[in-house]
Structure 1
């Protein structure tokens, strides 16, 4: 038992939303560790992958067509797609990715001993405070029922925070069901990360926590730092970890919760 626990030699993974940012970092790292990477994205992929599949996560026909293009079984699935705004945000950030993952799990396309890892956000950290409503939403366990549940709630629930809370609740709620099939599921909650999505609205996305980082002497996370954690969670080295939302934020939230650092804005969200 050694470094081989971190290897993906001969393993196959699907990376949803792997064209840029954290998803691209996951795909490139996975391949560097010996893995075969299948990347799904609506955007063009600018680096070499083993298979690329076009998908519009807001469109069920497109998603089902993308799933049909996956040959063989998988050892890991990474849910890395994300947008910060726009009408289909709940579909891109959650419903579309859940549909892919559930379809693969229910059809036994993820090998026993395999794992799923998704990207949530520190924006979803208060999910337990909203658990009853999230469980009501998650009970709509297919595309159409979830879409129907959203009708009349677009103004209050079609947003980044709710979509990321849904990811955290889904991971916790489904971990036992997945484990019965021999598959683990976890998610990461990154703090501000230097990606194209964040740079598009840098003042808001990269400005959050800037005073804490200045005091700590660190910058925003890199996409590779988040990818490292995602790969660990899907490696054999993390075989005992399931159903967990892992903070990757340079200790910002833990410092605030424990009183080591004062951040009134963040405290109001906890």
Structure 2
């Protein structure tokens, strides 16, 4: 099995790889023999094969980064993400990364035998209940039309919709990418102790805290997400394609079947309408 999760001779592109889960994945990929290429707006704090500074909210910057990538890419880890309240959220969390992946394929830098793994979120769990809206957005063919669609659809420039879009994109591209010999998957992390989560600690790290306490398990850490991303992109997962994989210690599924009582999970999944009174909140 160890030979199957092996990145010797592989070039691994990590979008949003300077910190958090992306940094954990990039550093583990290098430890497994990979040549890492990191795209980020943040400064690097560790060594990698190539670092490219990029503003994912700006198409010209993303196109310049694509041109700067040296040589072919065997694995793309799309790890960039920002929280609600950040400008250009949808561009950063989804549109730019879709643009980059499709440009790499069109330009021949990502080809047969390659793989793509996104970081989505448990917050995107309800993508199937929003399928018509998600598919309407995904039908936008390019950066400008995607940006215009978000401007025209209230409430979609949001963290939750960005993750729903990722999940829908993974499902939609599983077959056409496979025809090109490329697999695509995502992970859906539960609360994970990253700098972004700490900046939104009450909401992000508070979610599921009682579940973790009752199960006597610690909060997940970036290395666990990095390991799962690299597994999905490795030969050990060669039969896995089009999957949005929960990595949340069982919290979501336990809640969906009432093995654990967390109604907010059902709200996220689209199984229950949000009722402020149920959560001790005023209308």
TM-score (norm 1): 0.97
Equivalent residues, number: 268
Q: 1-side partners of 2:8 and 2:268: how far apart?
A: 41
Give 5+ residue unaligned stretches, structure 2: 270-283
What aligned pairs does 1:151-170 form with structure 2 within 5 A after superposition? 151-153=151-153, 155-170=154-169
Q: Aligned residue for 1:96?
A: 96
Task: After superposition, give the CA deviation of every residue in 1:52-73 in whole Å (9 maximum; x if it has no partner).
Answer: 0000000000000000001111
User: Once the 2 structures are TM-superposed, how far is the Cα of residue 252 of structure 1 from its aligned partner?
Assistant: 0.2
Structure 1 position 111 matched with structure 2 position 94: no
Contact 1:105–1:178 under 8 Å retained in 2: no
What aligned pairs does 1:117-128 form with structure 2 within 5 A after superposition? 117-128=117-128
Q: Aligned residue for 1:213?
A: 212
RMSD: 0.9
Q: Aligned residue for 1:42?
A: 41
Contact 1:13–1:78 under 8 Å retained in 2: yes
Q: 2-side partners of 1:151 and 1:84: how far apart?
A: 18
User: Once the 2 structures are TM-superposed, how far is the Cα of residue 114 of structure 1 from its aligned partner?
Assistant: 1.4
User: Once the 2 structures are TM-superposed, how far is the Cα of residue 111 of structure 1 from its aligned partner?
Assistant: 3.3
Q: 2-side partners of 1:118 and 1:263: how far apart?
A: 26
Q: 2-side partners of 1:18 and 1:120: how far apart?
A: 15
Give 5+ residue unaligned stretches, structure 1: none
Task: After superposition, give the CA deviation of every residue in 1:182-234 in whole Å (9 maximum; x if it has no partner).
Answer: 00000000000000000012111100000000001112110000111100000
Question: Secondary structure of the residue that 2:117 maps to in structure 1?
Answer: strand
Q: Aligned residue for 2:4?
A: 5
TM-score (norm 2): 0.93
Q: Aligned residue for 1:150?
A: 150
Q: Aligned residue for 2:133?
A: 133
Runs of 4+ with >3 A deviation: none
